[in-house]
Amino acid sequence: MKLKLIAIAKDEAAYIPEWVFHHVAVGFDSISIYTNELLDNTSAVIDKISLHYPVSEINSDHIKASSGSDFQRVVYGIAYQKAVLEGFTHVMFLDIDEFWTVCNFDLNIKEYLSNKTGMAHYSFPWGLKSGEEQFSSPFQEVNTFVMNRHVKTIINTKANIDEVHIHNVVSSNAKSILPDGSTLSEEGKYVFALKHELDTIPDAFILHRISRSQKEYISLLGRGRPGQVDSRLRLKDNRDGYLPRKNSHLKLSIKKSNIDSYTKKYNAFLKRCSLGPEIEKGRKFVMGRYKEVKRLITEDKQVDILLKEKLLKNISLPELTEAINDVNDLSADLFPVELSEKETIKFRKAVGANSRFIDSLRDLSLKYQNQDLDLSVRLMKLANIFRPEGPFIKVSLQRLIAEHRKLKKNRDF
Mind listing the pLDDT tens digit for each residue in 86-142?
999 999 999 999 999 999 999 999 999 998 878 899 999 999 999 899 999 999 999
CATH code (residue 55): 3.90.550
Domain assignment present for residue 366? The answer is yes
pLDDT recorded at residue 115 = 84
Q: Domain check: are 221 and 355 in the same one?
A: no
Does the pTM surpass 0.85? The reply is no
Q: Domain check: are 177 and 82 in the same one?
A: yes
pLDDT tens digits for range 31-41: 999 999 999 99
Residue 218 CB partners (closer than 8 Å, separation 6+) = 290, 293, 294, 297, 315, 317, 320
pLDDT recorded at residue 382 = 82
Q: What is the mean pLDDT of each successive set of 10 residues along the chain, which is 413 residues long?
A: 96 98 98 96 98 98 91 96 97 98 94 88 95 94 93 96 95 95 94 92 96 94 63 65 77 95 98 98 96 84 67 86 61 49 62 70 86 83 81 87 74 48
pLDDT recorded at residue 68 = 83
pLDDT recorded at residue 334 = 45
Q: Domain check: are 386 and 256 in the same one?
A: no
Residue 5 CB partners (closer than 8 Å, separation 6+) = 23, 28, 30, 31, 32, 91, 92, 94
Greatest CA separation found in the chain?
A: 73
Domain assignment present for residue 379? The answer is yes
Q: Domain check: are 238 and 385 in the same one?
A: no
Q: Domain check: are 257 and 361 in the same one?
A: no
Domain that holds residue 383: 334-412
**Total structural domains within the chain:** 2
pLDDT recorded at residue 49 = 98
- Please count the other Cβ atoms lying within 10 Å of the Cβ belonging to residue 380: 27
Q: Report the DSSP beta bridge partners of residue 321.
A: none
Q: Domain check: are 142 and 63 in the same one?
A: yes
Q: Domain check: are 102 and 29 in the same one?
A: yes
Q: Domain check: are 146 and 251 in the same one?
A: yes
Domain assignment present for residue 206? The answer is yes
Average pLDDT over the chain, rounded to whole?
A: 87
Domain assignment present for residue 186? The answer is yes
Q: Domain check: are 372 and 245 in the same one?
A: no
Q: Domain check: are 382 and 251 in the same one?
A: no
> Which phi and psi (to 5°) does residue 263 adopt?
-65, -40
Domain assignment present for residue 182? The answer is yes
Q: Domain check: are 345 and 275 in the same one?
A: no
Domain assignment present for residue 111? The answer is yes
Q: Domain check: are 158 and 12 in the same one?
A: yes
Domain assignment present for residue 101? The answer is yes
Domain assignment present for residue 291? The answer is no
